[in-house]
Amino acid sequence: MGDTGHDLQLLSEHGAFGGRQRFYRHDSRTIGLPMQFSVFLPPAAERGPVPALLYLAGLTCTEETFPAKAGAQRLAAELGLALIAPDTSPRGAQAPGEADSWDFGVGAGFYLDATEAPWSAHWRMESYLLDELLPLARAALPVDGDRLGVFGHSMGGHGALTLALRHPGVFRSVSAFAPICAPSQCPWGEKAFTGYLGADRAAWADHDATELMRRQPAAPFPAGILVDQGLDDKFLAQGQLLPERFEAACAAAGQPLALRRHAGYDHGYYFVSTFVADHLAHHRRALG
């Protein structure tokens, strides 16, 4: 598993559970800036392409958060799953106000393509992931592009649900930890969508998992969607996450959903690491 070419700069590589944890940088055509991502390759990747999960992190996080905090590599090595984790936004754009708040701008890309200036120049995370990062991973790394799943946490849970619903056929499985389920109806989403997409709420609905599920003519993931939510999550109490609205939309669409509510768990990575094994197993079953 040496260097890959394909304009990827290998920043570091670490042995982990018989596989390799890597960090890469590349010049992104879509973003117009350098972007970084991490990938864990299990031992099975030495023998040929393996199924892969795209993990989308939450507000303020980077491509390092998941591999450092989630404790997923041991089971991913056993299951033969690659784990790909991008950064959460462009960096270095020097857009006015990009670092003024923790929930908008840097570290807060919301996994969509901005249409409003100045964000539209670089904040193109949806196109970056679908049109650049995943094809790059398929070309440069031993991953099976026909067996992809997507999952994420918080803002990244929003990203996982919406990208899975917006791009049918790309991802064969989806799950989320404490996702922002109805961003057009919560303060985080209202702030981000106004800034990135403008005042027209009709455009917001195209990036709202609850609204997207309501539009489904049939269950898009008949094998089920897994969502875990801690009941001691302060952002649940503040009305930022609204899982009950996604739950209702899934019920109306006939979409099987395991929404598991856990007493005593908050919003952080102690929660994520507690249940990450269930998510890897969920995806492994769906990916065959």
Catalytically active residues are 154, 233, 267
In degrees and rounded to multiples of 5, residue 222 shows phi and psi of -60, -25
Cα–Cα dist 175/179, whole Å: 9
Cα–Cα dist 279/142, whole Å: 22
Residues whose CB falls within 8 Å of the CB of residue 190, separated by 6 or more in sequence, listed in order: 183, 184
Residues shown for the chain: 288
What string of H, E and C letters represents the secondary structure of the chain? CCCCCCCCEEEEEEEECCEEEEEEEEECCCCCCEEEEEEEECHHHHCCCEEEEEEECCCCCCCCHHHHHCCCHHHHHHHCCEEEEECCCCCCCCCCCCCCECCEECCECCCCECCCCCHHHCCEHHHHHHHHHHHHHHHHCCEEEEEEEEEEECHHHHHHHHHHHHCECCECEEEEECCCCCHHHCHHHHHHHHHHHCCCHHHHHCCCHHHHHHCCCCCCCCCCEEEEEECCCHHHHCCCCCHHHHHHHHHHHCCCEEEEEECCCCCCHHHHHHHHHHHHHHHHHHHC
CB atoms within 10 A of CB 82: 25
